[in-house]
C-alpha cells in the first residue's frame, strides 16, 4: 500500500468571465504538479468562472460555456495527476456551486456545495441550489473529503465526511478579505480539525473582483493543530505538499511557513492590489486624480503609483482663489516624491462663468453651500473631461468617514470610476500614510522613502471651498467621528449604547442623521475595495428613503 500522497496547491488569481484564461492558468498549475510528481493538483472555489460572478452565473449560455470549458480541461489533463477545480454544475433542473474532480481524461467526481452563504457580500441562495452532502472521493491511496468554503464553517459537512471515510479534508475557498479575517478562518478550521481528527487543507484564491479582494493565505493543519504549511497572503503561489501515512493516520510533512504582515500592511496591500486588478481586468492601464495638497488625495496618489507605476498616474491640481499656497506646494511635493506628472488647471474662470449664468436666478439669496459646491463640481467636470480625452480612469479620494456622513459633493469630488479609500476611516488614513513613508515592499511600483510629506499628514484637513475652512467646522473631530461611526456601522449599536460609551448625545444624533441622510449619495458612489465586514454597498444595504431615527 502506498504511504505517500503528493498534493499541489494552486493559490491563483482568476478573472470573472475569462473562461479560457482561467483554464490556461489551471492547466499551467496542473503541469507544475505533474513535473513535481503530484498525485493531485487543487485549485479554488468557482475557479473556472472567477468569483464572485453574481447573477452572471444564472445566465444559461454562460453556464454552458463554463461546463464545456471544464469538460475540455478534463481531456487536456488526462496524462498526469488528478485535478480538482471549482465551477458550476447544471444537472438539468438545478444549478450548483460544485467542485469538479478530474482524472485520466474524465470527470470522476463532483462535490456540490451544501451551505450557501446569504449574508455580507454573498447572495448564493439567489444563484445556486444547495446540494446534498457528498461523501469522500478517492485519489490513489487517499480518500479526500471536500467541504466547499462555507461548508467548512459548519460542523455537519466535515463530520459527515469523516464518518463516511475521508482521511483528509481539502477545503477550496473564495473567501474575500477583511481586516483580521485570517484569525477567524484559522479558528474555524481548527475546530473542524479537532472535531474530525483529520488533517485539513485550507486553499484560498487571490486577486480582486469589483469591491472584493481575495487574500490567499492558504494553510494546512495537522491533527493536534500543528501548522504544516502557510502560503503567502495576496501573492499567487503554487506549492507542493507531501502527506505521509502514519500509525495514527495521514499527516502533512511540514514545509514553508510564510510570516504574515501586520494589519496596516495588509490593508495597504489590499488597496494597491484591488486597484491594479480592477484596472487590469477591465483592460485599463492609466489613472488620474485631483491632487489637492491634502492627505486623502496624497494617499490615493501613493496607492495608484504603487499599483501601476508613476508613469501611469496623472495628478491634477485644480486651484481656486481659496486654495492656499501651502496646498499648492504640498501637491507639488507629493507628485515630485512619487515621480508622477502634475498638471495645473485653475477653476476660477469656469466657476465665475457658472456663477454669472446663475446670478439672475440666485439674486437676493445669500452665498452658501451651493456656491461652494459649484467649485467641487467644476473640478469633477474638468477631471472627467481629462479622463475622456486621455483615456485615464478618474479615481475619487473620499475616505470612509466622509462617505459615511456625506461630506462630499455628488457629481463633484465624488465623480470617478473607483475609490481606493472607500472603506478606510480618516483616522486610519493618517496611520497608513505614516506606514507607507516608513516601509517599502517588492510589490510596490512606487519609490521607497517618504512619499507623503509630513506636513501633508499633520495639517488640519480642509476642503478649501471657502477661506479658512476646516473639516471640523462641519464635523466632530475625526477621532470622535470615527469612533461613533464604527459603533453605529460596524457594531450596529443603538444611540443609547453609543452615548453610554461616553459620547455626547447631541453629537451622536448629528452623526446618525448625517449617516442616514447620505444614503442616496452612497448609492451613486464609485466602487472601492472592502477592508471591513461592514463596507458600504453589499455589507450594509440600507434604504435610501428612511424616516426612522433611533430615539432610544
**Residues carrying an active site annotation:** 45, 113, 149
CB-count burial class (<10 Å; 0-12, 13-18, 19+) for 469: middle
Residues with Cβ < 8 Å from 545, sequence gap 6 or more? Answer: none
- Estimate the crossing angle of helix 505-517 against helix 478-485, to 10 degrees: 70
R_g (Cα) of the chain, nearest Å = 26
Task: Quote the CA–CA distance of 84 and 537 in Å, as a whole number.
Answer: 33
Distances in whole angstroms, Cα of residue 518 to Cα of each of 48, 80, 271, 326, 369:
38, 57, 24, 31, 16
Residue burial 335-369, b: 16+ Cβ < 10 Å; e: rest: bebbebebeebebeebbeebeeeeeeeeeeeeeee
Cell 461616553, residue located: 502
Task: Quote the CA–CA distance of 140 and 144 in Å, as a whole number.
Answer: 10
Nearest to 252 by CA among 547, 519, 428, 5: 5
C-alpha cell recorded at residue 142? 487517499
Cell 486623502, residue located: 296
Q: Are 169 and 147 in contact (CB under 8 A)?
A: yes
Q: What angle do CA 150, 14, 303 make, to 5 degrees?
A: 100
Helix (H) or strand (E) holding 125: helix 124-127
Greatest alpha-carbon pair distance for the chain in Å reads: 94
What residues form DSSP beta bridges with 47?
Answer: none
Q: What share of the chain is helix, strand, coil (3-state, %, to 5)?
A: 40, 20, 40
**φ, ψ dihedrals at 437, nearest 5°:** -65, -30
- How is residue 447 annotated by DSSP? P
Task: Quote the CA–CA distance of 296 and 403 in Å, as a whole number.
Answer: 12
Please compute, for residue 208, the number of CA atoms within 13 A of its CA located in the half-sphere on the CB side: 26
Strand ranges in 286-445 using DSSP code E only, listed in sequence order? 287-290, 313-317, 341-344, 393-394
CB-count burial class (<10 Å; 0-12, 13-18, 19+) for 284: middle
Amino acid at each position: 500500500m502506498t504511504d505517500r500522497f503528493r498534493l499541489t496547491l494552486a493559490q491563483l488569481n482568476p478573472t470573472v468571465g475569462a473562461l479560457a484564461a482561467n483554464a490556461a492558468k489551471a492547466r499551467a498549475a496542473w503541469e507544475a504538479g505533474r513535473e513535481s510528481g503530484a498525485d493531485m493538483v487543487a485549485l479554488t472555489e468557482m475557479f473556472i468562472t472567477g468569483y464572485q460572478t453574481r447573477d452572471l452565473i444564472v445566465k444559461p449560455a454562460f453556464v454552458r460555456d463554463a461546463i464545456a470549458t471544464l469538460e475540455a480541461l478534463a481531456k487536456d489533463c488526462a496524462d498526469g495527476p488528478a485535478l480538482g477545480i471549482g465551477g458550476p454544475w447544471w444537472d438539468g433542473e438545478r444549478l450548483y456551486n460544485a467542485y469538479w474532480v478530474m482524472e485520466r481524461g474524465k470527470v470522476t467526481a463532483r462535490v456540490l456545495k451544501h451551505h450557501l452563504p446569504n449574508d455580507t457580500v454573498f447572495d448564493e441562495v439567489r444563484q445556486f441550489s444547495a446540494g446534498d452532502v457528498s461523501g469522500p472521493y478517492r485519489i490513489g491511496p487517499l480518500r479526500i473529503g471536500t467541504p466547499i468554503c462555507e461548508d467548512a464553517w459548519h460542523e455537519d459537512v466535515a463530520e459527515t465526511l469523516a464518518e463516511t471515510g475521508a482521511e483528509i479534508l481539502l477545503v477550496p475557498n473564495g473567501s474575500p478579505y477583511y481586516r483580521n479575517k485570517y484569525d477567524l478562518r484559522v479558528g474555524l478550521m481548527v475546530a473542524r480539525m479537532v472535531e474530525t481528527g483529520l488533517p485539513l487543507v485550507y486553499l484560498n484564491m487571490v486577486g480582486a473582483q469589483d469591491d472584493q479582494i481575495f487574500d490567499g493565505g492558504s494553510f494546512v493543519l495537522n491533527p493536534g493543530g500543528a501548522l504544516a504549511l502557510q502560503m503567502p497572503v495576496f501573492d499567487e503561489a503554487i506549492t507542493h505538499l507531501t502527506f505521509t501515512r502514519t500509525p495514527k493516520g495521514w499527516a502533512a510533512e511540514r514545509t514553508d511557513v510564510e510570516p504574515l504582515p501586520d494589519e496596516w500592511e495588509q490593508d495597504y496591500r489590499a488597496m494597491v492590489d484591488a486597484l491594479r486588478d480592477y484596472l487590469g481586468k477591465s483592460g485599463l492601464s492609466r489613472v488620474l486624480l485631483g491632487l489637492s495638497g491634502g492627505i486623502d488625495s496624497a494617499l490615493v496618489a501613493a496607492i495608484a503609483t504603487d499599483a501601476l507605476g508613476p508613469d501611469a498616474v496623472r495628478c491634477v491640481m485644480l486651484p481656486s482663489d481659496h486654495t492656499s499656497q501651502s496646498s499648492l506646494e504640498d501637491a507639488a511635493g507629493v507628485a515630485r516624491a512619487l515621480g508622477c506628472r502634475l498638471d495645473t488647471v485653475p477653476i476660477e474662470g469656469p466657476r465665475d462663468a457658472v456663477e454669472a449664468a446663475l446670478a439672475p436666478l440666485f439674486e437676493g439669496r445669500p452665498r452658501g453651500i451651493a456656491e461652494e459646491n459649484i467649485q467641487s463640481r467644476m473640478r469633477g467636470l474638468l477631471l472627467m473631461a481629462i479622463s475622456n480625452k486621455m483615456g485615464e480612469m478618474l479615481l475619487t479620494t473620499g475616505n470612509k468617514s466622509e462617505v459615511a456622513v456625506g461630506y462630499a459633493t455628488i457629481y463633484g469630488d465624488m465623480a470617478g470610476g473607483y475609490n481606493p479609500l472607500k472603506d478606510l476611516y480618516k483616522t486610519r488614513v493618517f496611520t497608513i500614510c505614516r506606514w507607507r513613508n516608513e516601509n517599502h515592499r517588492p510589490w510596490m511600483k512606487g519609490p521607497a522613502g517618504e512619499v507623503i510629506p509630513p506636513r501633508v499628514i499633520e495639517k488640519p484637513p480642509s476642503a478649501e471651498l471657502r477661506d479658512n475652512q476646516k473639516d471640523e467646522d462641519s464635523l466632530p473631530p475625526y477621532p470622535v467621528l470615527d469612533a461613533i461611526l464604527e459603533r453605529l456601522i460596524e457594531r450596529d449599536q443603538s444611540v443609547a449604547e453609543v452615548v453610554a460609551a461616553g459620547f455626547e448625545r447631541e453629537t451622536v444624533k448629528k452623526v446618525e442623521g448625517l449617516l442616514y441622510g447620505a444614503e442616496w449619495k452612497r448609492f451613486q458612489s464609485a466602487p472601492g475595495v472592502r477592508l471591513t465586514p461592514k463596507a458600504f454597498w453589499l455589507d450594509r444595504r440600507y434604504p435610501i428613503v428612511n424616516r426612522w431615527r433611533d430615539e432610544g
